[in-house]
Structure 1
Amino acid sequence: MRASLLWAVAALVIAAPVSAARIVAYPIDDATVLKDGGEQGLTPSRTPAKGTKQIALQLAPDLDHEVMRVGIACSAWKVQNPIGALIRDMLAAHDPDGRIDNGSPATAISVAVKHAGTLSRCVTSGDLSGTCITRVSIDASLSDGAGANPRPIHVEVEQSTRSIGVCAGLTRGIGLISREAVIKLITAIDAPTP
């Protein structure tokens, strides 16, 4: 066991300079969602059906971010989460006509996404395998098409994902958890206004 641990640490040290930066790949099509879900031991939610509300979307310019990595396992890798692309694609797919920013004030809902963050902590659970706890949060405000009556919304998803081999699967797990957070955001958009 000790030799295996030393081998894993040596592999990380050797591989880190070459693979120190990773980027979550968006968009994620349904076939990839199912494949990655199987790899990560997750049952992904279904892609939401078309909505009935026209969506006007604003994304904060600093929405895309580097994942906050805690713990020692897999900490040599910096992971970029360009979540703005995922939010834009999923909300456009949910919009009745597939276009955002074109709704009339009578039917539209304005979504201003102000902040997103990702936290990931991986621990080694065996020879060249591990578990990562990944949390994705999104802060936004929803208002009618004219921008009136804003209400804050906070969504958060935390789930376990898998680190396979020498920390492979990190970006796929983060992508899946990010997708679940955007689905929660869409659910909030569709909810009746209190």
Structure 2
Amino acid sequence: MRPSSGQALVVLLLLAAPALASCGDSDNTTDDAAPPPSSSPSDPESGGSPSAPETSGTSESSGTTDATSGGTALPAACEVITAEEVGAAFAVSFGPGSPGGGGTSEGDLEWQSEDCSFEAEDLLEVELALTAPEDFTAGEFQCPKPTAIASTVTPVEGLPAPATQAWWDRDDAPPLEATLRVCTDAYNFEVQLEYEDGVDFQGDPQQQATALAGVVLANLG
């Protein structure tokens, strides 16, 4: 017996149902699938550029510090006067300057100096000692009157500007040793004389030291 048209339609619907269900499941799987992970710019393996490291908001300078910052910049003592200028003041020939340094302690004051010594063989050694305000290691920068024992200390007048005060300190015992201390508002210096024992020197050592001090003042400006 042949099936009726209604029965044929039911059979077709039953046969088509699994296929329709399969199509529906496929569409739902596609829609619900998670998207593939995106490449992070900071991931080197993904080809992106690595992110820059974090930096603080404060930058540090690596510049150098001026050793004379806040103080008086003085040239080296051997650059202030020449052997020829020393020889002209004392009327003898001197060898080239020899750099050095020293320290002085007087009462509550202590200071350092940069020195340059010149020697007239078998006669005299002349030393220039420069001191800046920052070279005072104890006490304030000032112009102290020399306090050496067994010596005569007298003030010296007539030095050109910028000199503000000067002292002549002469040892009373032979051989002759003497120091001319000259002060300014920005620096101090000493012209130190030490004669060989028993020499017969010419001229006035104080006047000669004062003449050389005038050259030092002019050269330092």
Q: TM-score, normalised by structure 1?
A: 0.30
Structure with the larger strand share:
1
Structure with the larger helix share:
1
Q: TM-score, normalised by structure 2?
A: 0.27
Larger relative contact order, structure 1 or 2 (CA cutoff 8 Å, min sep 6): 1
